[in-house]
Structure 1
Amino acid sequence: MAPTASDVSNQTTLIDDSAYVKVLAESSTLKSVPSQFAYATNDSKGSYSDSIPIIDFSLITCADSEQRSKALKDLARACEEWGFFVLINHGIPETVMKNIIDASLEFFELPEEEKRRYEPRSASDPIKSGTGSVLNVANQRIHLWRDYVKSYVHPEFHSPHKPQILREIVAEYSERSRPVLRSLLQAISENLGLEQGYIDDVLKLDSCFQLYAANYYPPCPEPDQAIGIPPHTDHGLLTFLIHNGVAGLQIQHNGKWFNTNSPQNSILVNTADHLEIFSNGRYKSVKHRAVVNSEATRISVVIANGPAPDVIVNPAAPLVERDDGRALYLPMKFIEYVETMLSNRLEGKGNLECLKISPGPEDQ
């Protein structure tokens, strides 16, 4: 039987891996972070920067060659210098974006027995729901201050059966996001000097992989003593993130943590592991994390976008040729990378480091 709010408030040291954080946070007697969640984030305040690039999608796709050329240069700088940018004028209706936030919240408000239908049994499960934990450097298991639901939505569509509105809106949002993804990747390919259509053919973008993930971060009594998601990079090419207006995502830039502040109806986009691999290291997959607060619930919705599941991702051959024939990353089938990453619960460790090819003695 799942613990109740009163149970977890009185027995916080007995919480198991499957206990939902929402239940714990709703306890009226919760005054401190239970020991299982202890994750000191002394630098969690982060800094604010006006330098996070803003990319106008309408200019990337416009017919005015001068405006488009400038937009492409801005996109290249964003990918090279930050690995993150705020995308505006992307054409996805604001109502669709609001609806997917609201529908995701409805899922988290379902009875626990319904959510537990999707407790992960293996990394290959197409639908997963739960909370989560990581192992720190001292081999201690740390619970995360967040609940989640994830599902593969393309090229095959999967979604929880309830609420029904979630299935409908996730399908619509993912469908509307794919042309945006394709145009951004075509622009990135152009910036990399690749032939038109190269990225589509090599990565099989008609069958691109998309994963929907919604994260629920309830108020935390001691936000500096817990973490929503620790520092990590993402699998895939580009990640799209929207939220309910409550801040919490921080990105690492030049060794410092910066708060992100994306305006309403914009999408926060970041370059991910497979764009770093494909570009042979020209564009970096940047670490980011989710911090929590004591005031308001934060909901974020992510669409992780990758190549087709069966594609073996290598550095692009023309880019390797320009680098004196040296590929900086080993090849790996995309879906195997995803499933390995989803099963990796060691903080700060990812597949990307394992795929980097160390320079030989003659290169040092």
Structure 2
Amino acid sequence: MATAVSATSSAYDRMKEVKEFDESKIGVKGLSDSGITSIPQFFVHDPQTLSDLKPSSKRTVPAPLPTIDLSHINSVNLRPEIVEQIKDAARTWGFFQVINHGIPFSVVDQTVNAVKAFHEQPHEVKAKFYKREEGKGFMYASNNDLYRTKAASWHDSFNLWTGPEPPEVEELPEVCRNEVVAWDFHATKVAESVMELLSEGLGLEAGKFKELTFLEKRALVGHCYPYCPQPDRTVGITSHTDPGIVTVLLQNHVPGLQVRHEDEWVDVKAVPGGLIINVGDMLQIITNGEYKSVQHRVLANSWKEARISIVLFYNLAKWSEDGYCGPLPELLSPEKPPIYRNFTEREFVENFYSKGIDSKSLIDKITIHN
């Protein structure tokens, strides 16, 4: 695949190359394993995106992501302090790391190893699962927005909806089947605890988010970021915010995740066994801006070893009887009027699937301008 031709040149047919790549079903991992030294043109991002791939030098030592110890969440005396920590992190960072969350290290390791094992299978084995029908069964592909985005990113993924109706176990690849099912169970227990703390941080009952069905609609994604021969010309995943309620992320030791904080990009250093939690756009809206959905991205991987991450996205399962969603009435008052209008599920879905992944486009559309 030629890389020297300008993307604006008539000789370069971007869609033709994208289609050829997609139909080959080899994914980014296949390109990387083939030993290429330059990346195909449709992976090359614009100069503006590439201009700030290094963390800002404003601080010599960037502020570390807040790390919250959950070991005492059932302590009457210590729980209020943990609520405050999580509330503060969700308001100022939109991201935090949790440790001592109750999931055994062995389960964490087994999950990462199983997802890595899926991506390391021979091309002809993985190709059986390669498709673009989102929302149905187990789907493996490179870039879920490949045909909607201006430039592809250097990663492959599999994804499946684990709730409210879990897939038939037989539909899942044997190499990661048991581990994926177990991870959905374990991570959701942690998500439930975190949502209780977030709810209490707003002055609501601990079980309010569960009652609102924030735990039921779940999508599990297993990302692989293989070695990239030109990491300064592309990204692992472009800067974006997550559209849903809350995201739970498990990653291996290969770095790459960056979070936008106080107008600079901060590298996120994984704590062994820790989980990274972040606020989604929907939770920002529902909390009337109290909790912040924050931009994050993954740099293209310059390590010889693949970066692996397992992500669980939690979404609203049951919309209100009138079909709308918006800021919770309990959080509104004359002093705190709504800053977002109500919107429908159709608006939410159409906004997500009409373009590549991006930052807060739904929030921008529904913000009330006085």
Shorter-chain TM-score: what band?
Answer: 0.7 to 0.9
**185, 190, 195: which one aligns with 1:175:** 185
Which of 39, 43, 53 aligns to 1:37? It is 43
Which residue identity does 1:220 align to in structure 2?
Answer: C
Shift of the 269–196 alpha-carbon distance from structure 1 to 2, 3 Å rule, reads closer
Q: Does 1:314 align with 2:330?
A: no
Q: Is structure 2 residue 76 aligned with structure 1 residue 70?
A: no
Residue 53 of structure 1 corresponds to 66
Percent pairwise identity? 29
The residue type equivalent to 1:328 in the other structure is Y
Q: Does 1:357 align with 2:363?
A: no
The code of the aligned residue for 2:32 comes to A
Q: Which moved more, 1:177-186 or 1:142-151?
A: 177-186
Q: TM-score, normalised by structure 2?
A: 0.83
Query: TM-score, length-normalised on structure 1?
Result: 0.84
**Which residue identity lines up with residue 32 of structure 1 in the other structure?**
S
The secondary structure found in structure 1 opposite 2:151 is: strand
| 2:153 corresponds to | 144
Single out whichever of 221-230 and 50-59 deviates more from structure 2: 50-59
How far 1:118 moved relative to its partner? 3.8
Q: Displacement, 1:82?
A: 0.4
* CA deviation profile, 1:88-135 (whole Å, cap 9, x unmatched): 000011111111111111221234344344444444334321112768
Alignment equivalent of 1:27, drawn from 29, 34, 41: 34
1:9-37 deviations in whole A, cap 9, x for unaligned? 9xx98453515111111123x22222111
Residue 8 of structure 1 and its aligned partner are, at CA, apart by 9.6
Amino acid at match of 1:313: C
Distance in structure 2 (CA, Å) of the matches to 1:133 and 1:209: 19
Within 1, Cα distance between the matches of 2:226 and 2:268? Answer: 19
SS at structure 1 position matched to 2:176: helix
Residues 290 and 329 of structure 1: CA distance in aligned 2, closer, same or farther (over 3 Å): farther
The question of 1:240 aligning with 2:253 is answered no
d(CA) in 1 for partners of 2:360 and 2:125? 31
4+ runs of 1 displaced by more than 6 Å? Answer: none
* Residue deviations 1:152-202 (CA, integer Å, cap 9, x gap): 01221126745324221111111112222112111111111124533332x
Give the root-mean-square deviation of aligned CA atoms: 3.0
Gaps of 5+ in 1: 1-6
1:92 equivalent in structure 2: 103
Matched, 1:184 2:197: no
Q: Could you say if the C-alpha distance between residues 349 and 262 of structure 1 is closer, same or farther in structure 2, counting changes exceeding 3 Å?
A: closer
> What is residue 301 of structure 1 aligned with on the other side?
310
Q: 1 or 2, which has the higher helix percentage?
A: 1
Contact 1:53 1:85 in 2 (8 A): yes
Q: Does 1:269 align with 2:280?
A: no
Counterpart of 1:231 in 2: which secondary structure?
A: strand
1:164–1:134 CA distance, 2 compared to 1 (3 A):
closer
1:151-170 → structure 2 map (5 Å cutoff): 151-158=160-167, 161=171, 163-170=173-180
1:193 corresponding residue in structure 2 = 203
* C-alpha spacing 1:173/1:332, structure 2 compared with 1 (3 Å): same
Matched residues in 1 for 2:231 and 2:132: separation? Answer: 30
Paired residues for 1:331-350 under 5 Å: 331-333=343-345, 337=348, 340-341=351-352, 343-346=353-356, 348=358, 350=360
Q: Which residue of 1 aligns with 2:227?
A: 219
Change (3 A) 1:160 1:262: farther
Q: How many residues align?
A: 345
1:273 to partner: Cα distance:
1.3
1:84, distance to aligned residue in structure 2 (A): 0.6
| Residues 259 and 265, structure 2, Cα contact 8 Å, conserved in 1 | yes
Contact 1:36–1:143 (8 Å) recurs in 2: yes
- The one-letter amino acid of 2:342's match is L
User: Per-residue displacement from partner, 1:216-243 (whole Å, max 9, x unpaired)?
Assistant: 1111111110111101111222111111
Maintained 8 Å contact 2:161/2:220? yes
Summarize deviations over 1:52-78 as a string: whole Å, max 9, x none: 21111123x23241x222211111110
State the distance in 2 between where 1:34 and 1:165 align. Answer: 30
